[in-house]
Amino acid sequence: MSDTTRNPRPSGRGGSQWTGVFGTENPATVLIAILVILLVAAVNYRGVGESIKVNIAITLVELSGLIFIILVGAKVLFSGDGDPGQAFEFKESGFGALTGLTAGAATAFYAFIGFEDSVNMAEEVRDPVRSFPPSLLTGIFAASIIYLLVGFTAAMTVPLDVLTESSGPLLEVVERGLDWDASTLFSVIAMIVIAMIAVSNTMLINMLMASRLLYGMANQGVLPAPFAWVSPRKTPWFGIVFTSALSILLIVTTEDLTGLSDTTVLLLTSVFLLVNISVLVLRRDPVSHQHFTTPVFLPVIGALVALVFLMPINRTGEIYQIAIYLMVGGLALWALNFLVTRRTGTVVAEEDLTRDSDG
């Protein structure tokens, strides 16, 4: 493979100009990412109902692609061309194998981003106490089964050394499982489209949750009142604008998007640690209404696992540095709000914060 293929550079006068604007050697990727964020913001502004419809449609596309990969694995397995034992081989042994498993599990954590977002949207459900817990657990179980089958298919079909070095592992599965030429334009475009759809789906759910989360924090006095401003469509428009602008800023200023996703996993793992500890503490508080109660051992296990995932296993110091910068930014925003409003988080009436939403 030539250097040009490995490191594509924009050619011509126009490419140089766009490179200067975005500060990257691949401005097309940045431009597409910004356009996707703006599109997601527009859907988010329309409302929860429209966002969920788009989410369902995209999820069906994703699911069809994953089921296709599983069917390829079934064909390989029953034809005797695969090596099922390869899926259970470990390159290292002892502590090395344990470290590899932990690092892989921490990375796979990103695949489950979205389930915790649904918790913040539970108030949109008519009867969350009855319907939400079984729906959440069923979704996690189904996603786990599908991911395990896809992972088993990939490890069984493609040699491990090829799989670990490949930038398109699922393309490798299709190519070896069906004897297709995955380098054809149609195959590449198909996989790129599915990948972009999958990323857009995760982005939609995350930004939908983030804007509502900021809205709720503003209602409780943790953030400035503008974050609780709502549009005529009853959507938190200020939170949507803020999260969209922040996402665009991170994309433009971050050279390594992989590092940004790793930082997201790190911060979410920290949140999971605190949430599991909070569950154990809040269990002692009396609650007058009906609510779901989790067994004690689950938050204990969750806190321990999250603590292990926070360890510097297969992470660079830059990931922790970015995470610290983001947390400092959040603390600065809280401090600014405290200086202006003198509120530290006392619950306030929602109408007091939303009455000037048109201003």
DSSP string over 8-76:
----HHHHHHHHHHHTSS-HHHHHHHHHHHHHHHHHHHH-HHHHHHHHHHHHHHHHHHHHHHHHHHHHH
Element (H, E) at 134: helix 128-157
Of 300, 320, 297, 321, which is closest to residue 310 (Cα–Cα)?
Answer: 320
Q: Which two tokens stand for residue 119?
A: 């918790």
- For the residues of 77-121, what is the DSSP string, one character each? HHHT-S-GGGGG--SS-THHHHHHHHHHHHHHGGGGTTHHHHHHT
**Torsion angle of the four alpha carbons 5, 8, 9, 11, in this order, in degrees rounded to the nearest 10:** 60
Q: Three-state SS for 249?
A: helix
For residue 309, what pLDDT is reported?
82
pTM of the model: 0.69
For residue 333, what pLDDT is reported?
76
Q: How far apart are CA 203 and CA 27, in angstroms?
A: 20
For residue 238, what pLDDT is reported?
93
Q: How far apart are CA 355 and CA 226, in angstroms?
A: 11
Q: How far apart are CA 18 and CA 38, in angstroms?
A: 19
Q: How far apart are CA 246 and CA 210, in angstroms?
A: 11
Contact present, 128 and 332 (Cβ < 8 Å): no
* Residue 240 Cα distances to 38, 46, 216, angstroms: 10, 11, 13
Q: How far apart are CA 84 and CA 246, in angstroms?
A: 45
Over its length of 359 residues, how does the chain's per-residue pLDDT go in tens digits?
433 333 434 443 444 444 444 455 556 777 888 888 899 899 988 888 888 888 888 888 888 888 888 898 888 888 877 778 777 777 666 666 677 777 777 767 777 777 777 777 777 777 777 788 888 888 889 988 998 898 888 888 888 777 777 767 877 888 877 777 666 666 667 767 777 777 777 788 888 888 888 888 888 777 778 888 988 888 899 999 999 998 888 888 776 666 677 787 888 888 889 989 998 888 888 877 777 778 888 899 989 988 888 887 767 778 888 888 888 888 887 787 777 766 655 544 444 333 443 43
For residue 15, what pLDDT is reported?
43
Q: Which two tokens stand for residue 332?
A: 């600065």
